[in-house]
Chains A and B, each alone.
Chain A
Amino acid sequence: MSMQRPSGPFDSAGMAARHSSIIILFAIIIGFGIAEPAFLSLDTMGNTVKQASFIGIAAIGMVFVLLTAGIDLSVGSIMYLGPLMAGIAMRDMEVSVTGALMVSILAGALMGAINAFFIVVLRIIPFITTLATLFLFRGFGSYVTSSRQLDFPAEVRAFGLSNVLGIPMPVIVFAIVVLAAYIILAHTPMGRQIYAFGNDAEGARKAGLPTRRLQAFVYIASGICASLAGFVLISQIGRLDTGFGEGREFSVIAAAVLGGASLFGGVGTAFSALIGAITIQVVQAGLVYTGINLYLQPLLLGLVIFIAVLLDGLRQARLEDSKRRIIRPLLPEPARGDPPPASTTNKESHP
């Protein structure tokens, strides 16, 4: 009976369900740590977070989209086309690294706005829209570059590999984006309204919320995050290949879901992306550390993602159950029988 409030002060099953992603993450870390204690070193952990930042930054944008029960399949292509625009601006217009970063963010916002236009104005479902723009954005990049790689100036690489107080640049960007997303989602009216929209889109419309603006915003946010993620990784490599980001949409969606965001909308936080991206990276790094057969790795990673999606599905089934229409009081409280005209006095409820 999910309608009733848990009886005790601690609802342990509910607690576990709410924090299942962080519990899974710690279980995996401890598991690998037992198998290979060197895995638990501060160095390895730091490196893992650094490597998780690429998928993680994009996954934050994906959480916004998933909160509205939408999906953005075009993030892998945005990761490619965003930095490409920045690189071209540096090459042809000689903009600075900061300028390139801005171009990259703007390009991401523009691509997100294109998705939003199709979804919000033309009312084409998100899956179809972003599947189309997945090909469109990458196709446009291939046309512009004639499928040649693009080299970035050395100062970009210097930025990407720089440290502030010993913290690597990708981690700093990751932290800033997580913090910004947390503030927007938890502390602004728009953030809370995004949750409301994802919980019940029709209800949000009836409540007079600006649903079209909310929906447009999440795709723009996803575009910005994907493009920024691409730029952060490219600035470490210094070179952009045509295949960059291809297929990454799946890791990004998996990270968000693994961290606790629901594919069905209304559930997830900025930290979902953080936890999910780190979990994926920990599994990958842990498998390397423990020397498990390299060819087994995709299978095991797939298994972890499968479990996350399965948990999401089970949680959704429970949620649907609680929304089920009730037309008579649930037992065990006495049902209202034929009440005589003066039935408002509670003759039957207080034994």
Chain B
Amino acid sequence: MSALLGLHGLSKAWFGVPAVSDMHLEVPAGICLGVIGENGAGKSTLMNMIGGVVPPTSGSMTWRGDPYAPKNPADAKAHGIAFIHQELNLFTNLSVAENIFIDDFPYRFGLIDKRKMAARSRVLLERLNLQAEPETSVGSLAPGERQLVEIAKALHREASLIIFDEPTTSLTARETDKLFETIKALKTDGTTIMYISHILADVQALSDEIAVLRDGHLVANGPVDQFDVPAMINAMIGRELSAIYPPRTSAPSDDVILEADGLSQDGVVEDICFKLHKGEILGLFGLMGSGRSELARMIFGVDPTQRGTLFFNDTPVDGDARERIGKGMAFVTENRREEGLMMDAAIADNLSLVTIDQFGRAPLAMLDQDKLKERTQAVRERVTIKAGDITTQPARALSGGNQQKVVIGKWLLGDPQLFILDEPTRGVDVGAKHEIYTIIDSLAASGSGVLLISSELEELMGTCDRIMVMAQGEVTGEFKREDFSEAAIIAAAFKEVAA
């Protein structure tokens, strides 16, 4: 049987950095293809090209043997390709039927033909075995039921290829089983499936064929019986080192600065326990959606914690972020453009943002401009921000790496004892990355505890004293520097027993 979808030397580079390179792949009609790979392996970019979200840099695709070059997502949809993302695209204030028909309502005399819409929806819902009336509001459905509505949308458009991207993350065991039955039934009816997941056992159970991606390359592809879980993990690891790490110049002390005892939040993380010492760099690794950033936000007090206690310097903390900053916590967010920086304000103003109230001078608490200038200059030199006059130049004018240094620098002004750094080198060039690693090392050397979150494992292995691994909201492994092993850490991140 000929291939439904063919990729022929497909490549995509973002600003010269390859995300998908020279990919050749045939997806036969009527099979389920499991797609696996680590963070940044190129899965999303590949899906975006198939879905018409981004055009390839080079190479081509074929659909049923004809050239296929979708101009936009609607074009991909028109060809019969449907996506079921982890984040569903449903309108919670509308009914099930309205969500299915949102872009092509059947109508009569200019008005929506509700009877026809309900009848057609009922057929689709029955086929998916979803016990809901077409008039039910999507907002009142459970996550698994919502997902079936999304699949009903795909069926309604008679999609011949349905791509599932991490569909089970928010589903219960029962809902997951039901989804798998549905996927198998779809396959029996002739629908082709691409299934992307971090849960390798699921991929193995569902798929006929497996494709393994690493660093934008297709590194392995074949029938499922050639891949057991250890073979999948072995195929995924072995990323090449792309940066050189500065040596650690200090050793962690035995004093604990931060201790988490059973932190839990339903639907997010469960029973998180760990200790972070003074002068230690603790890496936190996990795949997308493992709960690592959510945990960081809970520690900093911006997201709620239902159960468990957090100790900072041996005293429990339960205040809001403002109180925790006062006690000596600092948080460099994942999203520096939106949360960390005022892009149009001067660099010096950004630097003084967190600690501005320390620069008040009696009696009216007017700003002590001289002291402010002196301190911001000192910090600027410590984190080596490459800029002109920091009192006039806006943060927007800096490179990504230097912007990140400003974000770290603004916390440094308050001499915090704990730094939580969430993806501090994302979108930063290699040279600036090295400088940021040096800064992180100097933070630890000066006695602060550092919690470093990254989706790049090699970065954590190069900079941390210890790495803690999370998967599906739980801690699944902990490794000391001398025990660092890529295979073991990846296995923990996939929640599998070490290969």
Known A192-B102, A192-B112, A208-B73; contact A329-B170, beta-carbon cutoff 8 A? yes
Given A319-B92, A322-B139, A328-B268; 8 other pairs, CB 8 A cutoff: A192-B105, A195-B93, A196-B98, A203-B91, A208-B77, A328-B170, A330-B266, A339-B199
A316 within 8 A of B: no
B202 within 8 A of A: yes
A267 within 8 A of B: yes
A333 within 8 A of B: yes
Known A200-B91, A339-B202, A349-B174; contact A327-B472, beta-carbon cutoff 8 A? yes
Contact across chains for A183 and B290 when beta carbons are under 8 A apart? no
Contact across chains for B173 and A209 when beta carbons are under 8 A apart? no
Complex: how many Å from CA A109 to CA B173? 54
A329: nearest chain-B partner, CB-CB? B172
Question: Could you mark each residue 130-174 of chain B with 1 if its beta carbon is under 8 Å from any beta carbon of chain A, else 0?
Answer: 000000000111110000000000000000000000001111111
B139: nearest chain-A partner, CB-CB? A322
Complex: how many Å from CA A244 to CA B99? 43
Identify the stretch in A95-103, A273-281, A340-348 within 8 Å (CB) of chain B at 4 or more residues: A340-348
Contact across chains for A344 and B205 when beta carbons are under 8 A apart? yes
Q: Using a CB-CB cutoff of 8 Å, which residues 93-127 of chain A contact chain B?
A: none
B178: nearest chain-A partner, CB-CB? A346
Contact across chains for B102 and A333 when beta carbons are under 8 A apart? no
Contact across chains for A327 and B267 when beta carbons are under 8 A apart? yes
Complex: how many Å from CA A319 to CA B91? 12
Question: Could you mark each residue 468-499 of chain B with 1 if its beta carbon is under 8 Å from any beta carbon of chain A, else 0?
Answer: 00001110000000000000000000011100
Q: Using a CB-CB cutoff of 8 Å, which residues 117-151 of chain A contact chain B?
A: none
CB distance from A2 to the nearest CB of B (A): 8
Complex: how many Å from CA A192 to CA B355? 49
A residues apposed to B, CB below 8 Å: 2-6, 183, 187-189, 192-193, 195-196, 198-200, 203-204, 206-209, 266-267, 319, 322-331, 333-336, 338-346, 348-350
Complex: how many Å from CA A335 to CA B269? 12
Complex: how many Å from CA A286 to CA B36? 68
Known A199-B92, A339-B199; contact A349-B112, beta-carbon cutoff 8 A? no
B472: nearest chain-A partner, CB-CB? A328
Closest 4 CB pairs of A and B: A349-B174, A189-B105, A326-B170, A328-B473
For chain B, which range describes its interface: under 10, 10 to 19, 20 to 34, or 35 or more residues?
A: 35 or more
Contact across chains for B92 and A209 when beta carbons are under 8 A apart? no
**Given the complex, which residues of B lie within 8 Å of A342, measured CB to CB?**
205
| A343 partner, pick from B143, B175, B205, B291, beta carbons under 8 A | B205
Contact across chains for A5 and B142 when beta carbons are under 8 A apart? yes
Contact across chains for B102 and A338 when beta carbons are under 8 A apart? no
Contact across chains for B77 and A348 when beta carbons are under 8 A apart? no
Contact across chains for B291 and A328 when beta carbons are under 8 A apart? yes
Contact across chains for A207 and B112 when beta carbons are under 8 A apart? no
Q: Using a CB-CB cutoff of 8 Å, which residues 263-319 of chain B contact chain A?
A: 266-270, 289-291, 294
Complex: how many Å from CA A5 to CA B133? 13
CB distance from A86 to the nearest CB of B (A): 29
Known A322-B139, A341-B229; contact A195-B268, beta-carbon cutoff 8 A? no
- Ordered by A's residue number, 24 sampled pairs between the chains whose C-beta atoms are within 8 Å are A187-B112, A187-B114, A189-B105, A192-B94, A196-B94, A199-B91, A199-B92, A200-B92, A206-B89, A207-B102, A266-B93, A267-B93, A326-B143, A327-B267, A327-B289, A329-B172, A330-B172, A330-B267, A333-B172, A334-B172, A339-B199, A343-B201, A346-B173, A349-B172
Complex: how many Å from CA A344 to CA B171? 13
Contact across chains for A207 and B89 when beta carbons are under 8 A apart? yes
Contact across chains for B110 and A188 when beta carbons are under 8 A apart? yes
CB distance from A111 to the nearest CB of B (A): 27
Known A328-B473, A343-B205; contact A336-B93, beta-carbon cutoff 8 A? no
Contact across chains for A328 and B92 when beta carbons are under 8 A apart? no
**Given the complex, which residues of B lie within 8 Å of A326, measured CB to CB?**
143, 169-170, 267-268
Complex: how many Å from CA A325 to CA B169? 10
**Given the complex, which residues of A lie within 8 Å of B126, measured CB to CB?**
none
**Given the complex, which residues of A lie within 8 Å of B206, measured CB to CB?**
344
B74 within 8 A of A: yes
| B169 partner, pick from A4, A207, A328, beta carbons under 8 A | A328
**Given the complex, which residues of A lie within 8 Å of B90, measured CB to CB?**
203
| B142 partner, pick from A4, A267, A350, beta carbons under 8 A | A4
CB distance from B363 to the nearest CB of A (A): 39
Contact across chains for A335 and B173 when beta carbons are under 8 A apart? yes
Known A6-B140, A192-B102, A338-B495; contact A203-B173, beta-carbon cutoff 8 A? no
**Given the complex, which residues of B lie within 8 Å of A324, measured CB to CB?**
267
Contact across chains for A341 and B205 when beta carbons are under 8 A apart? yes
**Given the complex, which residues of A lie within 8 Å of B496, measured CB to CB?**
338
CB distance from B351 to the nearest CB of A (A): 30
B26 within 8 A of A: no
Contact across chains for B173 and A336 when beta carbons are under 8 A apart? yes
Q: Using a CB-CB cutoff of 8 Å, which residues 236-266 of chain B contact chain A?
A: 266
CB distance from B121 to the nearest CB of A (A): 14
B377 within 8 A of A: no
Known A6-B140, A327-B290; contact A322-B92, beta-carbon cutoff 8 A? yes
Contact across chains for B174 and A335 when beta carbons are under 8 A apart? no
B177 within 8 A of A: yes
Q: Which of the listed residues B93, B114, B143, B266 has the most CB atoms from chain A within 10 Å of its own CB?
A: B93
Complex: how many Å from CA A341 to CA B177? 13
B136: nearest chain-A partner, CB-CB? A5
Complex: how many Å from CA A217 to CA B480? 61
Contact across chains for A333 and B174 when beta carbons are under 8 A apart? yes
Known A343-B201, A349-B177; contact A331-B266, beta-carbon cutoff 8 A? yes
**Given the complex, which residues of A lie within 8 Å of B60, measured CB to CB?**
none
Complex: how many Å from CA A346 to CA B473? 22
Contact across chains for B103 and A208 when beta carbons are under 8 A apart? yes
B393 within 8 A of A: no
B63 within 8 A of A: no
CB distance from B48 to the nearest CB of A (A): 12
Contact across chains for B140 and A187 when beta carbons are under 8 A apart? no
**Given the complex, which residues of A lie within 8 Å of B474, measured CB to CB?**
328
Complex: how many Å from CA A323 to CA B270? 20
**Given the complex, which residues of B lie within 8 Å of A350, measured CB to CB?**
174
**Given the complex, which residues of B lie within 8 Å of A333, measured CB to CB?**
172-174
B455 within 8 A of A: no
**Given the complex, which residues of A lie within 8 Å of B173, measured CB to CB?**
329, 333-336, 346, 348-349
**Given the complex, which residues of A lie within 8 Å of B176, measured CB to CB?**
336
B62 within 8 A of A: no
**Given the complex, which residues of A lie within 8 Å of B291, measured CB to CB?**
327-328
A349: nearest chain-B partner, CB-CB? B174
**Given the complex, which residues of A lie within 8 Å of B204, measured CB to CB?**
341
**Given the complex, which residues of A lie within 8 Å of B177, measured CB to CB?**
344-346, 349
B180: nearest chain-A partner, CB-CB? A344
A204: nearest chain-B partner, CB-CB? B91
Question: Could you mark each residue 81-117 of chain B with 1 if its beta carbon is under 8 Å from any beta carbon of chain A, else 0?
Answer: 0000001011111100010001101010011101000
Complex: how many Å from CA A346 to CA B91? 31
**Given the complex, which residues of B lie within 8 Å of A207, measured CB to CB?**
89, 102-103
Contact across chains for B270 and A193 when beta carbons are under 8 A apart? no
CB distance from B92 to the nearest CB of A (A): 6
Known A195-B91, A330-B266, A333-B172; contact A206-B205, beta-carbon cutoff 8 A? no
